Amino acid sequence: MSVDPVQHAVFNAVVNPYQGCYLGPAQLPARLSPENVAGFIGMLAASIEAWQDNYRLIWLELPASHAALIEPVLSLGFSFHHCHSAQLMMVKKLQADSYIPLAATHSVGVGGLVWSPTGEVLMVKELTLPGQKPGYFKLPGGMVEPQEHLATAVVREVLEETGVQATFQAMLGMRHHHRGQFGASNLYIVCQLQAQTTAIYAAENEIAEVRWFRPETYLLDEKASEYNKLLLKSALKYSGLVQHQVAGYSQSVADYEIFLPEL
């Protein structure tokens, strides 16, 4: 799309502390008629020219309703930065040495090492997908949802997969690898929990079997992974990191979690 920036006004810059200009839904045309799209792109081109020497980046947030603007915005030198289900964030460098901060680079999962009142440990065997080898018994767990605490997520995942209600006790350990879904790295946080109920059932859509094990029996299971055995051995020796609240750290305890040794 050809535009002549000198014929257009510029947007009012909403500037962040890092000298980046933000444009969002408030600046977008309400209707995507050809005339409105041309006017927006022309005004954006004029803004790029006007801001070139004073600012470092332009951030442009496009809701899904304005996807028609993606192609003409790309023609002005913008690139994709990150995307959510209903919005796309695009960015353009105004200066060659401008730093573009990364978006989310990791997914986060949790695993629950759940103890029964009699000292047994809870394990699950996942359903085998076509073409895969039969599974092995491992810790229940899954992905942390947006804005969900780790302690909440692991209790929820254990309940969903096994039917066991449990309470969070401590963070036991963490695994970090770079083979996560969609090209992201992955953090897997393992937590110790205490079972409040012991009746079990397997979630039909993902779990083939749920079982309580004596620790010594599980450690002799030749099919179990060495990683899961290492986690169990650690849990038998160490209590892990417990939750702490720090006065004045944040406006609400709903905003953070802190895990440290018990003081």
Task: Read off the pLDDT of residues 73-113 as tens digits, 9 standing for 90 and up.
Answer: 999 999 999 998 899 999 999 999 999 999 989 999 999 99
The mean predicted confidence, pLDDT, of the chain is 93
What is the reported pLDDT for 130?
80
What is the reported pLDDT for 2?
43
Residue 251: pLDDT band by 50, 70, 90 thresholds? confident
pLDDT at 199 over 80: yes
The arithmetic mean of pLDDT across residues 126-151, rounded, is 91
Could you write out the DSSP letters of every residue in 220-262? T-TTS-HHHHHHHHHHHH---BEEE--TTSSS-GGG--EEE--
Buried b (16+ CB within 10 A) or exposed e, 7-40: ebeebebeeeeeebbbbeeebbbeeeeeeebbeb
Residue 111 CA from chain centroid, whole number: 15
pLDDT at 7 over 90: no
The values of phi and psi at residue 22, to 5°, are -110, 135
- Give the lowest-confidence range in 2-11, 51-60, 115-124, 192-201: 2-11
What is the reported pLDDT for 3?
44
Task: Read off the pLDDT of residues 158-190 as tens digits, 9 standing for 90 and up.
Answer: 999 999 999 999 999 999 999 988 888 999 999
Sign of the dihedral through C-alpha 6, 24, 107, 257: positive
Q: Which residues, at least 6 apart from 7, have a Cβ–Cβ distance to it below 8 Å?
A: 42, 46
Report the distance separating Cα 90 and Cα 100, nearest Å.
11
Residue 135: pLDDT band by 50, 70, 90 thresholds? confident
What is the reported pLDDT for 255?
92
At residue 258's C-alpha, the angle toward residues 255 and 263, to 5°, is 145
Contact 151, 254 (CB under 8 A): no
Q: Which residues, at least 6 apart from 46, have a Cβ–Cβ distance to it below 8 Å?
A: 5, 6, 7, 8, 9, 10
Task: Read off the pLDDT of residues 204-225 as tens digits, 9 standing for 90 and up.
Answer: 999 999 999 999 999 999 999 9
What is the reported pLDDT for 5?
42
Q: Which domains does the chain have, with CATH numbers?
A: 9-93 (3.40.630.30), 106-260 (3.90.79.10)
What is the reported pLDDT for 77?
97
Q: Kindly list the distances between the CA atom of residue 100 and the CA atoms of 90, 95, 97, 190, 250, in Å, as whole numbers in the listed order.
A: 11, 11, 9, 32, 27
What is the reported pLDDT for 122?
98
